[in-house]
Amino acid sequence: MYSDIKTKFKQIEAELSDPAVFNDAKKVAELGKARAELAEVVGLINDWEKIVAEITEHETVMKGSDAELAALAESELSALKNKETDLKTKIEAELHPADPNDKKTAIIEIRAGTGGDEASLFAAELFRMYSRWAENRGWKIDLLDSSRTDLGGFKEITFEVVGKGAYGDFKFEAGTHRVQRVPATEKAGRVHTSTITVTVFPEAQETDIEIKPSDIRIDTFCSSGPGGQSVNTTYSAIRILHIPTGMIVSCQDQKSQHQNKEKALQVLRSRLLAKAEEEKRAKESAARKEMVGAGERADKIRTYNFPQDRITDHRVGESWHDIKSILEGDMSKMLATLKERLKQ
C-alpha cells in the first residue's frame, strides 16, 4: 500500500551512498533533508506492516482446528486492529498534514516595539524562551542577524529554528506580545508596559519561489555589535534589497560573506513565499487578519503580567501562571492549548 514511499526512501539512501555525490555538498544536504523527512513515516509504515501481518496470522489461527489457540487469537485480535488503525492514522497525518508547512524549519524575527530599553530586554527574553523550547525539542538555533543594545537586549533579532515541525510550533507566536512589569531601572516601582512583535515564516526552498538576479541589489558592510560599533574589519555582512517589493534583508552573524548571502536569500525567499500565501488568502477572504500588528500597546496576542505572575493569550482567553518557568522554555501546556483551540 505504501510501497512507493519505501521505494523512494531506498533510492535516497542509495544516492547518499553513491561516491559521485560526496563532493556535491548541496546535493548531499538536499538528500539528507529528504531522507530525514521520510524516515519517520517509513518507520511507521514498517510498524504498520508488521501489525497487518500479525492480524492476518491471528485470523488464520482462528480458522484452525485448535479451539484453545483460536480463542487466544480472537482475544488478541481487537487490540491488534486498534493498533493498526492508530498507525494508519499517524501515517496519513504524516503524508497529508493539515498544513504542509507545519513540518518545515521556522524563521523567526523578533523586534522591540514600544517601551525603549525595556522592550529590547524582553525581546532578548523571548529569544531565550524560544531557544530553550527548541533545545528541548532537539532542534537547532541558527542566528541570522541581530542588533543588540548596550544593556544586552535586542532591537531586533532574526534566527532560524532548524528541525522537523518547528514551524508547526512557532507559528502560534506570530503577533504582538505585551509585557507589564517594573523595570530594574524604575526607582518609583511603577509598572511599565512594553511591546515586542514576532514574525514567523516557514522556510522556503529555491524550488518554492524564484528570485531573479535582476530583482535584487546586494550590499556588503562590516558586522556590528552592541551600540553599532564594528566588530570586524571585513565586509562580511550582507544586505539584500528586493527591488519589486522593497523588502530588505540583512544577515551578519554567519562566518563568511558567502554564508551570510545564502542565509539572507533564504530569509528573503521565506518572506516572499509568506507574502504570496497571504495575498492568496486575502483574495479568498476579505476579512483576513494581519499576522503582526504595528507593535502598539492595544494590538496584542499575548500579555506577560509579571506582578500577577500570569501569561494570558488573548486569542483563546486562556491564562497560565509561573512566568519564570515558561520563559525558561516550558511552553508545552501553552502550545498544547493553542494548537487545540486555534487549529491552524
Q: What is the pLDDT of residue 288?
A: 41
69, 223, 253 from 239: Cα distances, Å: 72, 11, 12
Q: What is the pLDDT of residue 257?
A: 85
Same fold flag, 3-95 and 100-284+292-342: no
Domain 100-284+292-342 belongs in CATH node 3.40.50.150: no
Q: What is the pLDDT of residue 20?
A: 84
User: The domain 3-95 is classified under which CATH number: 3.30.70, 1.20.58, 1.10.3210, 3.30.420?
Assistant: 1.20.58
Q: What is the pLDDT of residue 299?
A: 63
Q: What is the pLDDT of residue 320?
A: 96
pTM: 0.65
Q: What is the pLDDT of residue 234?
A: 60
Q: What is the pLDDT of residue 280?
A: 67
Residue 90: Cβ-neighbour burial (10 angstroms; 0-12, 13-18, 19+)? middle
> What is the SS3 string spanning 178-194?
EEEECCCCCCCCCCEEE
Q: Over its length of 344 residues, how does the chain's per-residue pLDDT go in tens digits?
A: 788 899 999 999 898 888 888 888 878 878 887 888 788 889 999 999 999 999 999 999 999 888 889 999 999 999 999 999 999 888 887 787 667 788 888 999 999 999 889 999 999 999 999 999 999 999 999 998 889 998 889 999 999 999 888 999 999 999 999 999 988 767 677 889 999 999 998 888 766 777 888 899 998 887 665 544 444 556 788 899 999 999 999 888 777 888 888 888 888 988 888 888 777 666 645 434 455 555 554 469 999 999 999 999 999 999 999 999 999 999 999 999 998 888 75
Q: What is the pLDDT of residue 293?
A: 56
Measured at the CA of 132, the angle between CA 127 and CA 136, to 5 degrees, comes to: 150
Domain boundaries, the chain: 3-95, 100-284+292-342
- Residues 164 and 103: beta-carbon distance below 8 Å: yes
Q: What is the pLDDT of residue 225?
A: 57
For 110, phi then psi, to 5°, come to -115, 130
